[in-house]
Amino acid sequence: MDFFNVFKIACIFIGTVVGAGLASGKEIYQFFSIYGTKSFIGLIVCFVMYIVIGNMICNISNKKNLSSYNLLINEICPKVPGKILNIFTGLYYLFSSSIIFAASGSIINQFFSIHKIYGIILMILVTLIVMKFSMKGLSVLNSISVPLMISVIFIMFILFELFSDPINVQTNVNEVIQKEIRFHNNIILSSFLYGGFNILSATGILAPLSVENSKKNFKMGIFLGSFFLVFISIIINYLILANMPYIAKYDIPLLYVSKIFGRGLQILILVLIWIEMLSTETSSVYSLAKSLSLKYNFSIFKCVLIILSISIPISILGFSKLIGILYPFFGFLSFIFMFYIIKYSIKNKNSLE
């Protein structure tokens, strides 16, 4: 086993998922924290989903040499559903890009009290620069930022436990839970929606990674990545519940929590959140650009410019609105993807071993 490759796979997987919503705490709040203490069960459900579906993606992509999400979808789906799923998966990557632009704007606005457009412009410029170095630069970025992000979130948890007053998590959340409008009124359904769109978002990166690495390295990388992904999600969820109901009105809940520990830690959290957003933004844009490039014979950079020209206007709608409306829809879309990948894996179990 190559531990360096295992570490790289784990970091890329975490970096792809820890984008605008999770790094800020907003996804955890909307899909888990509003259910109170039941939310921790939901996060364990996600952990199992990541490992099971991630291994299926590995087995199929590695065996069939499928280096992109559209090739994987074409392999596991019948012709017509495959075309429909490919179109909507492409839209998923497009809207994910818009959500991260909006999140960048929210961070700049919440922390520096300047217009959101400056945060959006900053993310656009850095995304274009990173795309020049393709996935190699993304790998290096994740290998540094992901361990740092995990360490800082864990330190926040320790500091919070040491210096905050005792809390009653369920009492705190009851003040907020009745006010929330939810598209998913069940913690298990909410967990499947959340886990599903994270798997779908990572497929564009997991497929080529499974081809480039041995099955053993890839599966261990997915397990390690899933463990630490859920580990930091549990901590973020606890910190959000502990700061109810005041935290509910913030677009970036983790920035609110970090205010307790002074401006220095707040700036560090801000930078780390922004870098993880950049990682996911680059992954989403690259996955879609690569697919469009193969289909229409355009250069990848030209496809990147087309994607950005569409996603930027959408981002003006705002971070919270985009997550609340689009993520549940694409979570349901991921159910279709998971249905076909599970069906394909069962049907071809012997040939994939």
Distance of CA 224 to the CA centre of its chain: 16
pLDDT at position 156: 87
pLDDT at position 181: 46
| Nearest CA among 9, 304, 274 for reference residue 131 | 304
pTM over 0.75: yes
Domains in the chain with CATH codes: 3-352 (1.10.4160.10)
pLDDT at position 182: 54
- For residue 295, the SS3 value is helix
For the CA atoms of 20, 24, 25, 28, the dihedral, rounded to the nearest 10 degrees, stands at 0
CA angle, 57 then 62 then 67, to 5°: 80
| Nearest CA among 150, 233, 147 for reference residue 194 | 233
pLDDT tens for each residue of the chain, 353 residues long = 788 889 988 988 898 887 656 767 878 888 898 888 889 999 999 999 999 999 999 889 888 888 788 889 999 998 888 888 888 888 888 887 887 888 788 778 877 788 888 888 898 888 888 777 666 767 777 888 889 889 988 988 998 888 776 555 555 555 555 555 454 578 898 898 888 888 888 888 888 888 888 889 999 999 999 999 999 999 999 998 888 877 777 767 877 787 777 778 778 878 887 887 888 888 888 888 878 887 788 887 888 888 888 888 877 776 566 666 666 677 778 888 999 999 999 998 877 76
CA angle, 317 then 43 then 13, to 5°: 70
pLDDT at position 255: 74
pLDDT at position 304: 86
| Nearest CA among 266, 226, 248, 332 for reference residue 29 | 248
- What is the Cα gyration radius of the chain? 19
Place of tokens 């393709």: 134
In contact, 23 and 149? CB cutoff 8 Å: yes
pLDDT at position 19: 66
pLDDT at position 279: 82
Cβ contacts of 193 within 8 Å, gap of 6 or more: 31, 184, 327, 328, 331, 332, 334
pLDDT at position 342: 93
For the CA atoms of 134, 139, 141, 143, the dihedral, rounded to the nearest 10 degrees, stands at 180
